Structure 1
Amino acid sequence: MSPRPSVILHTDRPDAALAVLKETHPDLAVHACDSYAALREMIERVAAEVVYSIRFDGTPRYPRQALTESPTVKWVSIGGSGTDHLGPWDPKRLTVTNSAGVAAGMLAEYALGAMLSFSLDLRGFERRQQARLWGSGGRVEPIEGKTVLIVGLGKTGTAVASRAQAMGLHTLGIRARPKAMPCLDEVHGPDALLELLGRADFIVCCVPLVPSTRGLLGKAAFAAMKPSAVVIDISRGGVVDEAALLEALDGKRIKGAALDVFATEPLPADHPLWGYDNVAITPHCAAVYDGWDVKSVRMFADNLARYRSGEPLENVVNPERGY
């Protein structure tokens, strides 16, 4: 740690980020990098100690080695909540923080919107509207009284639980270290997953992608679900086993799914998931709302003040847990 570290803002929207740092840390030399390819050279040229980085051009090309292998970089601040695109890293040599919570409310609204969409059969009514067909043809159902299982109770999962509880749903949750929480009717450990899946009308996936969560919702999980269950994935691609999901959809073992994340992004045009009427697909955008990037940079600026004064950083990520 140094009181005046060399800082790089690695983002495709550098102007807004630079304005925040100019306002909050006017004495620092701050450099902007808006490409993956140029990051390594800039780190070396400015001897960067701190890098704020957003995954703005996908995971496969993300320059993780430029960050994790640099002899000068001591702290990487990830602009979102997920850090799987950076891992693994040596926490003894490199500190990694994230911006957990910056989009928790928006992600929770996405999850609630998906629940309402399926309960109100909005996709079915849209198809009937396009065909100019009058008459119900579908059936609306209340979500009040239904049960939602939230897998992962970090800031996003907690926000989902709070909104779901306000809408009258029975809220179940899973977290690595179970404890009572005000917005959850029940909190269980990971070992209870299969039993809880059989009770849930909605399953909302909010866990990070780490070895223990890769393929977490696989064949056994889908086999445990009710035929009326809806899976909502706002976590990371790879947590839901897509082959197992396709089998469940084809076998009509679940009602449907709302997916914002995928194992391969962009989702290939020939991927079979595109063809299901009961699957809602969004392009990893549930956390992207107007102003989220500025909010994220402001969180970084606050943490940067702690870093410069030698105080403990907030949102330090354990690479094994992913949070």
Structure 2
Amino acid sequence: MSARPTVILHTDKPDGAIAVLGETHPDLEVHPCDTYAGLPALIERTAAEVVYSIRFDGTPRYPRQAVTESPTVKWVSIGGSGTDHLGRWDPARLTVTNSAGVAAGMLAEYALGAILSFSLDLRGFERRQQARQWGGGRVEPIEGKTILIIGLGKTGEAVARRAQTMGVRTLGIRARPKPMPCLDEVHGPDALLALIGRADFIVCCVPLLPATRGLVGKAAFAAMKPSVVLIDISRGGVVEEAALLAALDAGRIKGAALDVFTAEPLPAEHPLWGYDNVAVTPHCAAVYEGWDIKSVRMFADNLARYRRGEPLENVVNPERGY
């Protein structure tokens, strides 16, 4: 740690980030980089100590080795919450922080919007409107229904708070269960299959880890109610897509709202595009006007702590992924 570290701002929208750092840390040497390909050489040339990085062009091409194995980089600040694109890193040599909470409210609104869309049959009414068909369709209240939230970080908590205000019973799963004011029940991961059959809505918001890959798979779908709606705002790979497709084909679930996929962009030939009861969005649920500036400001606050030699906020444990 140094009091005047060289900083790289790795983002596809560097102007706003540069302005924030110019305002909050005007004495620092700051280098913008708006491509994946240019980052390794920039790190080497500048001997950067700190990298603020946003995963703006997908995971497969992300230059993770340049970030996690650089001899000069001591701290990587991730602009979002997920860190699976970094792979593994040595926490004794490299500190990784994230911006957990920067999009929690927006993700929760996406989840609630998806729930309301299905309970109000908005997609069905849209089809009838296009056909100029009067009548048909049925709305259902969500009050009194049950939601299961898999993952109770800041996003999961935000989902639970909003659901609770709508009169929905809230069940949650977290790695280290403890009572939470916005949850009626909190359980550990071992309770997943026992809880999943009680849920009318299931929201996935866990990080992608070895322990969560394929977490919602064949056994989970077999335990679900046929009236359940699945909302996935986690990471592609948490929901096993083959099991999801089988459940959709067999009519074992009411529908799904999916913002994340195993392959992104979702290939045009992928069968998920073709289901009337599946809402597909392009990994955009956390992207709202101003989120990037809010994230950079969180980084700037943490950078002040770093320069003072104080503990950083939102340090990620590579074993837990959060």
* Interval containing the TM-score (normalised by the shorter chain): over 0.9
Alignment of 1:41-52 (within 5 A): 41-52=41-52
State the alpha-carbon separation in 1 of the partners of residues 319 and 202 from structure 2: 24
**CA-CA distance at 1:43 after TM superposition:** 0.4
- Spell out, residue by residue over 1:40-63, the C-alpha distance to the aligned partner (whole angstroms, 9 max, x if none): 110011110000000001111000
State the alpha-carbon separation in 2 of the partners of residues 82 and 74 from structure 1: 19
- Spell out, residue by residue over 1:105-160, the C-alpha distance to the aligned partner (whole angstroms, 9 max, x if none): 0000000000000000000000000111011x111000000000000000000000
**CA-CA distance at 1:69 after TM superposition:** 1.1
Residue equivalent to 1:134: 134
Q: Could you tell me which amino acid in structure 1 is paired with residue 118 of structure 2?
A: F
Q: Does 1:81 align with 2:112?
A: no
- Spell out, residue by residue over 1:176-209, the C-alpha distance to the aligned partner (whole angstroms, 9 max, x if none): 1111100000000001000100000000001000
- Spell out, residue by residue over 1:239-271, the C-alpha distance to the aligned partner (whole angstroms, 9 max, x if none): 000000000000111101000000000000000
Identity within the alignment, %: 86
* 3-state secondary structure, aligned to 1:85: helix
**CA-CA distance at 1:291 after TM superposition:** 0.1
**CA-CA distance at 1:87 after TM superposition:** 1.6
Q: Does 1:244 align with 2:238?
A: no
State the alpha-carbon separation in 2 of the partners of residues 58 and 268 from structure 1: 14
Residue equivalent to 1:124: 124
Q: Could you tell me which amino acid in structure 2 is paired with residue 228 of structure 1?
A: S
* 3-state secondary structure, aligned to 2:84: coil
Residue equivalent to 1:193: 192
Residue equivalent to 2:149: 150
Residue equivalent to 2:289: 290
Q: Does 1:31 align with 2:31?
A: yes
**CA-CA distance at 1:320 after TM superposition:** 1.1
Alignment of 1:100-249 (within 5 A): 100-135=100-135, 137-249=136-248
State the alpha-carbon separation in 1 of the partners of residues 149 and 265 from structure 2: 26
Q: Could you tell me which amino acid in structure 1 is paired with residue 183 of structure 2?
A: L
State the alpha-carbon separation in 2 of the partners of residues 232 and 31 from structure 1: 38
State the alpha-carbon separation in 2 of the partners of residues 145 and 87 from structure 1: 41
TM-score in terms of structure 1 length: 0.99
* 3-state secondary structure, aligned to 2:171: strand
* 3-state secondary structure, aligned to 2:86: coil
Residue equivalent to 1:276: 275
Q: Could you tell me which amino acid in structure 1 is paired with residue 202 of structure 2?
A: I
Cα-Cα RMSD? 0.4
Structure 1 residue runs without a partner (length 5+): none
Which 4+ residue blocks in structure 1 deviate beyond 4 angstroms? none
Count of equivalent residues: 322
**CA-CA distance at 1:26 after TM superposition:** 0.5
Structure 2 residue runs without a partner (length 5+): none
